[in-house]
Amino acid sequence: MANNLEHNGEVVEETSHEVTIYAEPIFHVGNFAITNSLFTTWLAVLLIAIFSLVIRLNLKKVPGKLQNIFEVMLEGAMSLTDQVTNDRKITNKIFPLVFSLFVFILINNWIGLLPFISAIGFTVVESGQNVFVPLFRAGTADINTTLALSLMIIVASNLFGILTIGLWKLFNKYVNLKALGEIFTKFKKDKTVVIVSPISVFVGLLELIGEMAKIASLSFRLFGNVFAGEVLLASMSAIFLYILPGPFLFLEVFIGLIQALIFSLLGAVYFTIAAQDHNEHEEYETVRALDSHESLKLSP
């Protein structure tokens, strides 16, 4: 909040340093408002591109220090993704996306934590008050970024599902027409299908709602954590600028890493789930149940 203060007999207008929940525009290109988070994301993209270029130009069969670190990172990420997917083929397919996602989020999370970066900005007058607009804001501290990434992950995972198990099976996962049909086809064999099939249809609809929930949970988890971290650091700096934010800064560095890891691993989980055919397992179980039922009837 901006207040007018009296200092040595002069009225000094104080500048407001509020942390807003949304990213502030810093300039416009036509109608398109370039926000500070988008600007920071460009910086992150540039950093990653330079890093990639440096790696590319220094690639050797006998690795140097930087290449060694990157190789270890890559191997570690690969084995972690392997643990999630339990299938090397799926890992090979989704790893480039998951790893890029991890690096993108990590660098965006950490850029916002750079010391004094939030102090770089300019002052604008809004409703007669001086408001400080920071030039840099972590890309992931903007819901637009996290929402875009979440949407992309969910859409990509479903596309991956279509490519892996087919459109019909994926469609039946959400709108279970197959289960509805089974009411008529399997009714003679198994009367319980009248109860089980509508439940399956309802579960499919829940899965559809679950996809929406995934978008919300992914985007708000990341945004909430990063934004809360920025607010926490701003608050601590406001209390005592010099020492107090230190431990919290380290905490936020750790949180940034963890959040990037959670987001990318959840992405890997969604991809793996989308690549699995649940009906096969269910069909197998049904056949087994029917078989045991038949054998019970046949046995004296």
Partner 1 sequence: MDEFIATFHIDWKLMLAQVINFGLVFLALYMLAAKPLKKLVDERSNEISKGLDDAKKSRELLLLATEEYKQNSIKLRKLSVDTQVELKKDLEKLRQENIEKMRLNTEEWKKNRIKQMEIDKRELIESAKKDVMSLATFVAEKIMNDKNK
**Residue 33 backbone phi and psi in degrees, to 5:** -85, 120
- Residue selected from 80, 90, 94, 97 as contacting partner 1 according to rule CB under 8 A: 97
Check binding of 100 to partner 1 (CB under 8 A).
Answer: yes
- Residue selected from 16, 67, 158, 276 as contacting partner 1 according to rule CB under 8 A: 67
Check binding of 230 to partner 1 (CB under 8 A).
Answer: no
Calculate the dihedral angle through the C-alpha atoms of 260, 262, 266, 267, rounding to the nearest 10 degrees. Answer: 10
Where in 281-300 is the site for partner 1 (CB under 8 A)? none
Check binding of 33 to partner 1 (CB under 8 A).
Answer: yes
Tell me which stretch binds partner 1 (CB under 8 A): 6-14, 97-105, 233-241, 276-284.
Answer: 97-105
Q: What residues does 125 pair with on adjacent strands?
A: 130
User: Which helix (H) or strand (E) segment is 131 a member of?
Assistant: strand 129-134
Calculate the dihedral angle through the C-alpha atoms of 234, 235, 241, 243, rounding to the nearest 10 degrees. Answer: -110
Picking from 152, 164, 127, the residue whose alpha carbon sits closest to that of residue 219 is 152
When the beta carbons of 198 and 224 are compared against partner 1, the nearer one is 224
What sections of 166-244 are H helices per DSSP? 167-174, 177-185, 193-239
Check binding of 160 to partner 1 (CB under 8 A).
Answer: no
Check binding of 148 to partner 1 (CB under 8 A).
Answer: yes
Tell me which stretch binds partner 1 (CB under 8 A): 7-15, 147-155, 174-182, 289-297.
Answer: 147-155
Longest CA span, the chain: 106
Check binding of 143 to partner 1 (CB under 8 A).
Answer: yes
Check binding of 51 to partner 1 (CB under 8 A).
Answer: yes
Output the six-digit token pair for 245: 């934010």
Check binding of 21 to partner 1 (CB under 8 A).
Answer: yes
When the beta carbons of 54 and 238 are compared against partner 1, the nearer one is 54
